[in-house]
Chain A
């Protein structure tokens, strides 16, 4: 299998079960290079597992995923080396940011490029300072994570992901753990990334944000992609009953 011209990611029929719980049940989709894909769906639908599969934090039981020039068939035994090359294609921004509390903001950003990618300290440092500037935190470089607000912490998390120079950036509900007034600053950073041509996959509950930012929306339920397409159709004019119910619940909680 090869990646179709223009697609950065090609997911083919992946499945994943935790015990008897079939979290992913044959999920397939593609992500064009330079596009933003949002994944929406009820909790427990498998969207986070799907995202984690793209970074091999969860390893699918079967199916094939191509990212860039790496293709992994999960039905076969996979070497550690393959996993680490596969993982290196993407970078993850976690819901709970998972910053390293014992490292400064700058060290959080430079750790991966310096230690895992073994790039030079001068290059990595100047790039990291540039990234921190871009997420509006250049003056916080020597602070420790506990000294930052939740929104600032999440923006450091984004800079840390970008510093790895990934082909694909994954966001796992990046604003769900934030106080409402801090959500905007994080979404603004993600929106800018989308505009700049990064390839993004974002799991989110922010429907308005998904509508504004994404080129493609996936609605997932019961471990399957029920609906996919541009936001104008999936969010604006859903065909599937489940999608309509979900959107109605999220948009009109009362």
Chain B
């Protein structure tokens, strides 16, 4: 059922290729069971399946509860690793965890690539209309009507095949909005998503008008030949038999399909302002403990790398010179996101496993190093040759001339473009959210997930980023002023 847009499909494909080529010494999931801990990958931002309760901040949800219950049955402790959907399979391959519990649809393609368990949830295609619309009672009634659908979703094809005109939208929430506003007639999606939406929002302006007939099932995904399937399947079977699955479903999906769902959302009702107010401190905390340190550490290390690379590029040693050029070319020629993924997901294949925060520091430092090197190189070249000669003639060696005479003058030229790099870096750190660093953006995602209030929380996060950048711009002005004081105006 989760057929989401693949913004970073390229990176994932690459990771997949890397992992497929990797040698066979991969640890199996069985090791995990023997160690007594089952590591479960889940989004943490996908309500009501995997999200953080707003009051307790604990990870909860349909899939989370099922995974916990299955762990109890198997007799292992369950540890959750929160990973964005777009990188969840790359992380599974990289052995960051043993199974994925995140409404993974069981498809033949996935079955050939992963160990897919028996299903623990079943959904069917449903047609959603406005509550007062009685003209649609079956798939056949879609002919000539307008449907709002996410283009990459299989439901778009279902609607089109039924003769509907399809308006492309970003996601389910936006589709329902268009339906509410009367701009489209129907939305086709799966029942679980619709139950979830109705349970979360208490929206009574739309209803489930009919079924499409398609069913889809969701289960756990593990690495191929993990050896986990027998235990997982037995556990799911027992949970189904003893009614645990049904209870979990009732708790999160409120899925008595006939009447209007009662708005007993686990979050309770909260105004947008209240939500923002409640999250000001957690967002600030993420900013201070993750975003700012990540920026500062990466920038400082990055500058050191940049200086070394710039000097290597200026060197007359052919080997050094070309190595520096290659480094700069690779860093500037590949997406930062891919660099992050390589450090975090691909290096474990070579048995180099790095925790999220240091992995982010490595990737960002190298990136700053590549861009900064060119800035520093051109700044050094802007210092007149006579300054080098004067430094030599008073007895300074290369290092002394560089440190005491040339770099202080180069700094004046380098500060404005390096400030650009720093300000970009502040915002680029948000990419670390894709490799499990709970920095500012990731914290906003987690807070927004159970509420459907993405705009409010992303907006708040944007304001935080902006404030940091304002402070940096101010600091840049001061530094420039200081460096300009020896220059005739």
Q: Which residue of A lies closest to B404 (CB)?
A: A115
Contact across chains for A116 and B389 when beta carbons are under 8 A apart: no
Q: Which residue of B lies closest to A109 (CB)?
A: B394
Contact across chains for B394 and A111 when beta carbons are under 8 A apart: yes
Q: Which residues of B contact A (CB under 8 A)?
A: 384, 386-387, 389-397, 400, 404-405, 408-409, 485-488
Contact across chains for A146 and B487 when beta carbons are under 8 A apart: yes
Q: What are 6 A-B residue pairs whose CB atoms fall within 8 Å in the complex?
A: A55-B393, A100-B391, A102-B486, A115-B395, A146-B487, A160-B394
Task: List, in ascending order, chain B residues with CB within 8 A of A91's CB.
Answer: 393-394
Question: With A112-B394, A164-B394, A164-B395 in contact, is A96–B386 under 8 Å at CB?
Answer: yes
Contact of A253 with B by CB under 8 A? no
Contact of A120 with B by CB under 8 A? no
Q: Which of A98, A144, A161 has most chain B Cβ within 10 Å?
A: A98
Question: With A87-B395, A144-B486, A146-B486 in contact, is A101–B409 under 8 Å at CB?
Answer: yes
Contact across chains for B386 and A98 when beta carbons are under 8 A apart: yes
- For the residues of B in contact with A, the DSSP-based class is helix
- Per the bound structure, the CA–CA distance linking A164 and B408 in Å amounts to 22
Cβ contacts A23-63/B at 8 Å (1 or 0 each): 00000000000000000000000000000000101000000
Contact of A3 with B by CB under 8 A? no
A115-160 residues with Cβ-Cβ distance < 8 A to B are: 115-117, 144-147, 160
Cβ contacts A227-247/B at 8 Å (1 or 0 each): 000000000000000000000
Task: List, in ascending order, chain A residues with CB within 8 A of B486's CB.
Answer: 101-103, 144-146
Give the shortest distance, in Å, between B71 (CB) and chain A (any CB): 64
Cβ contacts A49-91/B at 8 Å (1 or 0 each): 0000001010000000000000000000000000010011001
Task: List, in ascending order, chain B residues with CB within 8 A of A103's CB.
Answer: 486
Contact of A94 with B by CB under 8 A? yes
Q: Which residue of B lies closest to A52 (CB)?
A: B389
**4 smallest beta-carbon distances between A and B, as pairs:** A116-B395, A112-B394, A98-B390, A98-B386
Q: Which residue of A lies closest to B409 (CB)?
A: A102
Contact across chains for A112 and B395 when beta carbons are under 8 A apart: yes
Give the shortest distance, in Å, between B481 (CB) and chain A (any CB): 14
Interface size class of A (residues with CB under 8 A): 20 to 34
The answer, among B389, B395, B408, for a CB contact under 8 Å with A98, is B389
Contact across chains for A100 and B390 when beta carbons are under 8 A apart: yes
Contact of A92 with B by CB under 8 A? yes
Task: List, in ascending order, chain B residues with CB within 8 A of A116's CB.
Answer: 394-396, 400
Give the shortest distance, in Å, between B441 (CB) and chain A (any CB): 40
The answer, among A96, A99, A117, for a CB contact under 8 Å with B395, is A117
- Per the bound structure, the CA–CA distance linking A55 and B395 in Å amounts to 10
Contact across chains for A94 and B389 when beta carbons are under 8 A apart: yes
Contact across chains for B387 and A98 when beta carbons are under 8 A apart: yes
Q: A98-B384, A115-B400 are in contact. List 18 more A-B contacts (CB 8 A).
A: A57-B389, A84-B395, A91-B393, A92-B389, A94-B386, A98-B387, A100-B391, A100-B409, A111-B405, A115-B404, A116-B394, A116-B396, A117-B395, A144-B485, A145-B486, A146-B488, A147-B488, A164-B394
Task: List, in ascending order, chain A residues with CB within 8 A of B392's CB.
Answer: 57, 87
Task: List, in ascending order, chain A residues with CB within 8 A of B394's CB.
Answer: 91, 111-112, 116, 160, 164
Task: List, in ascending order, chain B residues with CB within 8 A of A84's CB.
Answer: 395, 397
Give the shortest distance, in Å, between A153 (CB) and chain B (any CB): 12
- Per the bound structure, the CA–CA distance linking A120 and B425 in Å amounts to 44
Contact across chains for A57 and B393 when beta carbons are under 8 A apart: yes
Contact across chains for B400 and A87 when beta carbons are under 8 A apart: no
Give the shortest distance, in Å, between A23 (CB) and chain B (any CB): 17
Contact across chains for B408 and A102 when beta carbons are under 8 A apart: yes
Q: Which residue of B lies closest to A164 (CB)?
A: B394
Give the shortest distance, in Å, between B394 (CB) and chain A (any CB): 3
Q: Which of B389, B390, B391, B486 has most chain A Cβ within 10 Å?
A: B390
Q: Which residue of B lies closest to A163 (CB)?
A: B394
Task: List, in ascending order, chain B residues with CB within 8 A of A164's CB.
Answer: 394-395
